[in-house]
Structure 1
Amino acid sequence: MTAPAPIVYPSDVDGWLAFASDRPAAAIARVADVDARLTEASARGMTPEERLDLWNDADLALRQATSEVYLLSEAHPEAAVRAAAEAQVQRLEALSAGRLLERALFEAFREIGADAGNALDHDRRRLWRDVLRDFRRGGVDLPDADRERVRVLSDRDTELSLEFSRNIRDGRREIRVAPEDLEGLPQDFLDEHPVGDDGLVRLTTDYPDLMPVREYAVRRETRTALVAAANDVAWPENESVLAELLAVRAERADLLGYGSWADYETEPRMIGSGAAIADFLERLDEASAPAAAEEYPVLLARLQQDGPTASEVTIADLFYLLGALRRERHDVDAQLVRSYLPFERVLPGVLATTGRLLDVEYLPVDASAWHADVRSYDVVRGGERLGRIHLDLHPRDGKYNHAACFGIAPGIAGRVLPEAALLCNFSRGLMPHDEVVTFFHEFGHLVHDILGGRQRIARFSGVATEWDFVEAPSQLLEEWAWDADVLASFAANAAGEPIPSELVERMRVADGFGRALEVRRQLGHANVSYHLHVDRPHDLQSATEHWYRTTSPVQPLAGRHSYAGFGHLTGYGACYYTYQWSLVIARDLLSGFGGDLMSPEAAARYRREILEPGGSRDAAELVEAFLGRPSSFDAYRAWLDAE
């Protein structure tokens, strides 16, 4: 059997415009052919296996085409290509949702029946059950008028979600400050931000400006001004977009027979129901409140050293104060740590570390991509190419402005080589340690997509597990960014001296302080995500500010509109709780390494039981297979209490 080949990308704008139209058109034609055959499944005498294999073919075509153009809509430097790709995303999403309303297609799978369905092999039986559930959740059983309304609402959800993301992507804000207002910023930052003709320095809300300012700027006014600007990214543009999106989702959930959008979203996930989200958030509240109550007065007292009249710590102060306290209490100077983390050392370090852990090599390939910044690698083991990855790691205009992994090709054994990309916004120079942690996190998604990309069924390929498990492998991989031996293997200063193990140990100890407040910050995001969808408040600004104010002692900036730039409200919907749910699992998975992060035995078991199955088994089964027991909350609670 010929090994599947990677995608060949164009090298000019015209080629990319054709790529963004021709490949979706081919996928749509393939789906039309499959659907025509499935609607005649009985007449053709198709076996259950033949029906499910055909569905898988169409699903593969749709998933790959949608992933390709979705990536282009967020990453291509040419606005015309982004716009063309975005239009195709909407077209493909509409087709995917619309198929689940077609009764003739549904009949091809409903008539398989329980006896024949249960006699299928594991993968096909799992697919059959998921397909029946998807049709029901899609609205196939509704009366005609309601079915058509669900179709309209589903298409509108896609349209609004794309608009919401586009406004964030294009919503950069700028402020201008006096040079003296940058007191505390590292010299390389100052060198990259010269004084303009007006005597002021320009700062943007892009991560390479925002992150250093909120962590190092001594002057509170500077931090507050830039964080306030970041909190208003995509506002007012996204005010009406989000209001309509919430209304569309609520109506759709109601038509489909769910109590709320949260109930609809959680049905196929580990957590199981919207009410269980509320219960889980209450459990996080109970677990983190005592430690956060102890941490907050320490922050406030430190803030008052700089300004005695300060009465509350805000989100614009949090990272600066944590950095100051870590420096003063634990001798951890974030700028000193940065000096050991130049990007050109971190990149090969992440590759070498994950390569050793996962028993793979990353071989650079000279291939066309959507931008000159993109670095592409074949992922190889024992001479066999397992997949291809693309690293697009620095900011530019028109590009996705956070950090995420984007699937491109869902791997199918013998048919499709898995491909995925990272879109990040890292510094080209010295990296803060939290950016290195983010790099490891996103790389966790990337390798999950590749190593889990040898399935028979497209919907089980790569990271296609339950959505509230998908962050766990990435959160687990963050731990390698805190290991002294791992860091010493690549982190070194300009003189070539590796980062001292004593410094890394102090970093780990210092990181314990503020952990509960960080959980409260994440809990605030989860509350906003959940309550905006479930409570449907008329005043989005007031409701969002309320949930942040009541969740954490660290206060939001009053009168701002962070929900307008909260990109997770599209993909994650009401379910931002996912990050803490997955973190509970990740802390438990860590115990499986027995204190040795590079243990070959533990790593092999982890690859075999967690990464390589993709979504072919329930997440709870994956965890139990790796740990030898069901997952527990104990490791998370111990981590939260540690300082």
Structure 2
Amino acid sequence: MKWTLLTAVFSLPLFASPAEFDCQPELERLQNLPALPQQPKAWLQAVDSWRLPARNKLSAAYVYNDAASDPQSRQSARQCINSLSKAFEKHTNSLRSQAKALLPGASGLEARALGAWAGSTKALKSPEYRAVVDKGRKLSQRFRANIDNFEGRYPVPEGCQGKLPGKWQKSVPLRGGAVKAALNDVPPHCREALFVAYESRLSAANAPVLAALLENRQQQASLDGFKDYADRRLARTQLGSAEAVWRYLDKLSAKNRAAAEAERAALNNPPLWALQSPKVEDKPASYRPQTLIDNYFAWLGKALDLRFVPIEVAHPWAKGISGYELRQGQKAIGRLYLDLYPRDGKYGHNRHRELQRGVTGVQLPASVLVMNLPEDRWHHKDLKSLMHESGHALNNLLASQPYEILAGIRLPSDLVEVPSKVLEQLAWDPAIHQAITGVREAPPEDVRQQGIALDQRILNSAMALAYHQSGAPDMEAINARLYPKYLRQDYIKGLSPQYAFRHLASYGPAYFTYLYADAKASDISEAIAGGQLTLRRFADCMLSPGGSVPAREQLACATPVD
């Protein structure tokens, strides 16, 4: 089994030829759970031996679903995702029970791995529970669809037409600079009312959906033994509870007060409808994509004491796929595939996909960057995107472990973005920017990390958390309490921005995780840029351990912990 799987990494039979994606052999393998040895190490090895071929095929199916150029391949990959996911779920309860029974006799990494199995939340639930979860999923999808499919106009209050163009007299389009232009064109006494109309534009469509979703999530929490959905969702974060998140938000808000108040003073303390951070224009410098790609991976390899060696990709899922073999000395330790440019049928944003998790002595890790970057010229934002997604890839490629359940990306949700954010933020360091682009002066830094913009992010995190601490929250009352505390502005009755807050349906009470990751990544990237920490040391602390070391210890290795 070991040599078979090692060969799989280099010949890549996981990648089907065009118009093919068949997972039937892997499905058949998963139908029956084999008898497993009742000794911790042997049990874990046997589980991996049984599951890994199907686990690898499932990962490949996600890549094909995102990016295969052939529609038939994408369709068959989607079918495999559904079938393999159900087949894995079928045996999770049994594996979890066996792991719990073996845990008292285990120690070291075996205890960590068995503990991960014993604590799995992907166990097969009762039909009643599944019905509740399925309903919640549909409500979440509906909430987001209402936002995505909004027709793009909001009403002008009666008597507020002012100098609005004729086509905007009744409603204003939600595009470009129209929102700001409309606020300037209506009479001063109408600006607050127009701002409320804009912010509350989705109230009619999403108020009943959000109410039903919050009630459903409270029901899920009760079925899982939690007092509310916030604690259920946050139990597996590094902070661990809603109470800890509130403390963190209060601390961050206090730290940001001086910067936010200075910005407000510079803007003459504007009303809520005019409150925004000063605009910072990006420099128009542009670069040849391949030059930046080559320079970036040369710099990254040097910083990590590794090499990214270009390779040919056998049986790619589309044209234009490139790849690197990651080497430590002369030893191959993983592979990275780049699918950087847009095409018809491809996933429309940027993401990292684990293709394989590294299992020591069994298989090497592999990752794919599925992106949609310009093919002709790149700007700083495109380099930043590449660096961000490569941070996720490194978290998989450097985290080989003896057991699959400890390998790859295993950080909790409030830390999982730290590796990507560290790389992203290093794009602004002058020395690193020069090494990659040849230009020392980097563009202005991201203004979201301080001042008014950071206040807004803290407020959004607080709103998302508070709404999920009850099945039927009074959201207007919550807004009226949180706006003065975190945005330092009084709430306007009826503003109701929550109905256009897309992340409420996805991240929910864990929306703060991006904020937390940004802050921790900022501390780490500043230490790297200042010479107090090396990128190699950061990788040893937070990229290589996978699930073998508790997340809090990984973070403490790199930066002070809250």
Asked if these proteins are the same fold (TM beyond 0.5), I'd say yes
Does residue 515 of structure 1 match 2:515? Answer: no
**2:47 partner amino acid:** W
- The structure 2 residue matched to 1:448, chosen from 390, 395, 398, is 395
Identity of aligned residues (%): 21
Deviation per residue, 1:235-293 (Å, 9 max, x gap): 99988876665544332221110112222222232111233223322222222233212
Query: 2:143, 2:427 → 1: CA distance?
Result: 33
Deviation per residue, 1:460-499 (Å, 9 max, x gap): 21221222222122222223211222222332xxxxxx42
- Contact in 2 for aligned 1:529/1:569 (Cα 8 Å): no
* Shift of residue 126, structure 1, vs aligned partner: 0.7
Aligned to 1:526: 461
Which segments of 5 or more consecutive residues in structure 2 lack a partner in the other structure? 154-172, 186-195
Deviates more, 1:368-377 or 1:456-465: 368-377
- The structure 2 residue matched to 1:68, chosen from 60, 63, 75, is 60
Query: 1:79, 1:540 → 2: CA distance?
Result: 44
Does residue 112 of structure 1 match 2:73? Answer: no
**1:37 partner amino acid:** A
| SS state at 1:407 partner | strand
| SS state at 1:574 partner | helix
Query: 2:218, 2:425 → 1: CA distance?
Result: 38
Deviation per residue, 1:337-383 (Å, 9 max, x gap): 23244434332332222122122214142444333354333223333
Aligned residues: 525
Q: Residues 391, 139 of structure 1: CA spacing in aligned structure 2 closer, same or farther, 3 A cutoff?
A: closer
TM-score normalised per structure 2: 0.76
* Shift of residue 624, structure 1, vs aligned partner: 3.5
**1:421 partner amino acid:** V
Greater share of helix: 1
Query: 2:200, 2:312 → 1: CA distance?
Result: 40
Q: Residues 366, 82 of structure 1: CA spacing in aligned structure 2 closer, same or farther, 3 A cutoff?
A: closer
Deviation per residue, 1:376-432 (Å, 9 max, x gap): 332233333322222233445554444332222222123233222223333334444
Aligned to 2:544: 612
**1:566 partner amino acid:** R
Q: Aligned ranges for residues 584-595 of structure 1 at < 5 Å?
A: 584-590=519-525, 593=528, 595=530
Q: Aligned ranges for residues 427-576 of structure 1 at < 5 Å?
A: 427-452=374-399, 454-491=400-437, 498-499=438-439, 501=440, 503-504=441-442, 507=443, 515-536=450-471, 551-552=486-487, 566=502, 569-570=505-506, 572-576=507-511
- The structure 2 residue matched to 1:5, chosen from 4, 8, 24, is 8
**2:301 partner amino acid:** G
Q: Residues 524, 219 of structure 1: CA spacing in aligned structure 2 closer, same or farther, 3 A cutoff?
A: closer
Q: Residues 129, 322 of structure 1: CA spacing in aligned structure 2 closer, same or farther, 3 A cutoff?
A: same
Query: 1:608, 1:87 → 2: CA distance?
Result: 38
Does residue 379 of structure 1 match 2:342? Answer: no
Deviation per residue, 1:589-641 (Å, 9 max, x gap): 346547239x8xx34333333322222111222233456xxx245xxxxxxxx
**1:312 partner amino acid:** W
* Shift of residue 294, structure 1, vs aligned partner: 2.0
**1:460 partner amino acid:** L
- The structure 2 residue matched to 1:313, chosen from 246, 260, 274, is 274
Aligned to 1:583: 518
* Shift of residue 173, structure 1, vs aligned partner: 8.2
Query: 2:148, 2:28 → 1: CA distance?
Result: 33
- Contact in 2 for aligned 1:541/1:561 (Cα 8 Å): no
Q: Residues 428, 460 of structure 1: CA spacing in aligned structure 2 closer, same or farther, 3 A cutoff?
A: same
Which segments of 5 or more consecutive residues in structure 1 lack a partner in the other structure? 39-44, 141-145, 176-203, 305-309, 324-332, 492-497, 634-643
Does residue 266 of structure 1 match 2:266? Answer: no
Q: Residues 299, 407 of structure 1: CA spacing in aligned structure 2 closer, same or farther, 3 A cutoff?
A: farther
- Contact in 2 for aligned 1:106/1:132 (Cα 8 Å): yes
**2:43 partner amino acid:** R
- The structure 1 residue matched to 2:40, chosen from 16, 41, 48, is 48
Query: 1:252, 1:441 → 2: CA distance?
Result: 33
Q: Aligned ranges for residues 85-100 of structure 1 at < 5 Å?
A: 85-100=77-92
- Contact in 2 for aligned 1:537/1:543 (Cα 8 Å): no
Query: 1:343, 1:55 → 2: CA distance?
Result: 43
Does residue 147 of structure 1 match 2:129? Answer: no
Query: 1:218, 1:242 → 2: CA distance?
Result: 25
- Report the aligned-residue RMSD: 4.6
TM-score normalised per structure 1: 0.68
Q: Aligned ranges for residues 218-297 of structure 1 at < 5 Å?
A: 220=181, 246-297=214-265
Q: Residues 550, 563 of structure 1: CA spacing in aligned structure 2 closer, same or farther, 3 A cutoff?
A: farther
Q: Aligned ranges for residues 419-430 of structure 1 at < 5 Å?
A: 419-430=366-377
Q: Residues 477, 61 of structure 1: CA spacing in aligned structure 2 closer, same or farther, 3 A cutoff?
A: same
**1:616 partner amino acid:** S
Deviates more, 1:379-388 or 1:428-437: 428-437
Q: Residues 616, 543 of structure 1: CA spacing in aligned structure 2 closer, same or farther, 3 A cutoff?
A: same
Query: 1:172, 1:392 → 2: CA distance?
Result: 31
Q: Aligned ranges for residues 264-413 of structure 1 at < 5 Å?
A: 264-299=232-267, 312-313=273-274, 318=277, 321-323=278-280, 334=282, 337-358=283-304, 359-396=306-343, 398-413=345-360
Aligned to 1:30: 29
